[in-house]
Structure 1
């Protein structure tokens, strides 16, 4: 049987992931808003936030091993199916009158764990679908589609909740998940050489079935590969420092420019719009020839724009800087993803992408834990300016050291 064209395969794969992401985003917003409006409790929102973060962090290490060991397409389909099944059970419970907040928290935890598997699996499977020279373009398109869904989801979710109960939104997610799984099932995924490697190891008596041993081998690879190790450290540091721009800007807007809801909405929408534009930019441009130059340049630009947020004299200037920050985000992230896809062995990519996901899942909340209380003692503008200066200096200082390591890969 003739193998399908790779462009057809990746188009169907991205379509499936976009449809699935739309449903997931609708439900994520709907659940959080339902808890917010029905309880007005900071404690309940804290619990829901923990349910959204902790399972993803806890499962990511093992998820990387599973992604490297098993069929990645099946892992994506399985995680999507489990999330859909949990969402369907929640919808059934609400339809029958069992409206428990703890059920909501349980489903948020299941969805978080599923995302902890699905996200690195998607990043790891793309090189099996796409020729290496097109990886930047495809990752840029994927970033654009994801950003577009995140841009549309709040408005769509709000519109649905105004005319229908929560369980209707839950059913939409189930339908989109089923569509996504069915499309993914039709895609041919080129296998990598993991099977042959396992066969050789079995012959030599070296095979190890322990997931913990596989995790240790991932850490050994990270320790021995100086470039990937330093890239991970840089990623953790930058995500920690940019957390004020991710979490504290609504507080700054309300304190400085006014407490009107439209201002907070404009702040969120301009960032999402910027991410859509940034995805289009990186997909069409492709970045600098030396990919890490693109990431480091975007990191430095992000820092400068954080300073711009901090010194913004009027709200319009703030919105322009916020949009530009959104544009830099895909230009920062896409080259990192492509660099890992190109340089890390396929049998190790699941674990490395999981390490990157853990870095993001830990660094941002930790940054908020540090900068959040600080915002009650000093102006948010000063925090943004100080953190922005550090982001610029770190991005420029690691440029040559990180790039030298990259060219030795």
Structure 2
């Protein structure tokens, strides 16, 4: 790490990733909306969801090895470029008149796989640029930028689709990717020193990652906690629109307000953790945020009026970066840099599996049990588990 100009390097790097994320988010919404409007089919939307989740889960296992084995900056640029080229080819194909829904599914698969590489690679690169004492602040800023792009992209995508053809949105994504890759290329990132070992294959390196996870009790407990909590919070992540419709009314503005308050809360939470930095012991921040999240789930489940629901929803958004950022920084600090790719990939697999698994359980239950009951029960569980795990395992961190 060149400490004399790390601020310039991280500024360019985060700018590149923000521009790329913005274009990708715009296209992601556009593709889903195009499938929705073209087919009006729940089956097709289910397939598109699977195309967005499964490839990311599958490739993450191998992506961790590639990230630890090869130049991480080049991995980020390559994954971004592959996504951009696939989007460009889709635009050209659609412009030529071949408008197949299955081509959209193929591109969603490629984009999901690219994200499975890019996300852990970005988390692994940041500590190569940023001094350790600045990691919390920079991860908070990164969270804020990501949340802001996710907040703006649906509106921008909707505006573009209302005034221009679908293919125009695809071309915008290609342009933002080119800009992002170009800026990333200018950032110097000192390579991680990798000991030449006897490991000969990717599978052996995957096994070494699992062995490290098995022997590192702190990271193993942290990953287990993450799996359980993400499973339990899935009702608040996916079922709140259903609760809003059933309890407060099916007005579109209510659903929009629900999404917007959460996104604005995420932006505020990123700014909070970036300026505050959290407690001295990072796990105190994560565990207290987890317990507070659970209490807010209980409050959501008992919300008497819609404005109270929106306040709780915004507060949940604020707690999310305060929960996630310390976990990211803890891994960046405590895990050897040559193992970052694999551990962050394991965390991504946990995230990608736990939420859909939670929906597979709680989704059907929502048809026979009130969503409020599910939010209350899972919220109580989140509070209890956060406090218990905090006391048992993480006080020294």
TM-score class, shorter: over 0.9
Q: Is the 8 A contact 2:63 2:116 kept in 1?
A: yes
| Whole-angstrom distance in 1 between the partners of 2:386 and 2:331 | 19
The offset of 1:38, in angstroms, is 1.3
The offset of 1:4, in angstroms, is 6.2
| Whole-angstrom distance in 1 between the partners of 2:169 and 2:383 | 42
Quote the residue 1:204 is aligned against.
none
- 2:99 maps to 1:92: no
Question: Which runs of at least 4 in structure 1 moved beyond 3 Å after TM superposition?
Answer: none
| Whole-angstrom distance in 2 between the partners of 1:233 and 1:96 | 49
The offset of 1:3, in angstroms, is 8.4
| Whole-angstrom distance in 1 between the partners of 2:10 and 2:392 | 35
Q: Deviations over 1:197-248 (max 9, x none)?
A: 11xx3xxxxx222000000000000000000000000000000000000100
Equivalent residues in 2 for 1:4-403 (5 A)? Answer: 5-194=5-194, 197-198=195-196, 201=197, 207-403=198-394
Q: Deviations over 1:282-324 (max 9, x none)?
A: 0000000000000000000000000111000000000000000
| Whole-angstrom distance in 2 between the partners of 1:317 and 1:365 | 28
Q: Deviations over 1:244-289 (max 9, x none)?
A: 0010000000000000000000000110000000000000000000
The offset of 1:37, in angstroms, is 1.2
Moved more, 148-157 or 185-194: 185-194
| Whole-angstrom distance in 2 between the partners of 1:88 and 1:18 | 20
Q: Is the 8 A contact 2:295 2:380 kept in 1?
A: yes
Aligned length: 396
Q: TM-score, normalised by structure 1?
A: 0.96
| Whole-angstrom distance in 2 between the partners of 1:257 and 1:154 | 23
Q: Is the 8 A contact 2:286 2:323 kept in 1?
A: yes
The offset of 1:374, in angstroms, is 0.1
Q: Deviations over 1:335-371 (max 9, x none)?
A: 0000000000011110000000000000000000000
**Structure 2 gap ranges (5+):** none
Q: Is the 8 A contact 1:3 1:188 kept in 2?
A: no
The offset of 1:190, in angstroms, is 1.7
| Whole-angstrom distance in 2 between the partners of 1:70 and 1:402 | 34
Q: TM-score, normalised by structure 2?
A: 0.99
Q: Deviations over 1:92-114 (max 9, x none)?
A: 01111110000000000000000
Q: Is the 8 A contact 2:3 2:131 kept in 1?
A: no
Q: Is the 8 A contact 2:77 2:184 kept in 1?
A: yes
| Whole-angstrom distance in 2 between the partners of 1:304 and 1:169 | 40
RMSD: 1.0
| Whole-angstrom distance in 2 between the partners of 1:166 and 1:223 | 48
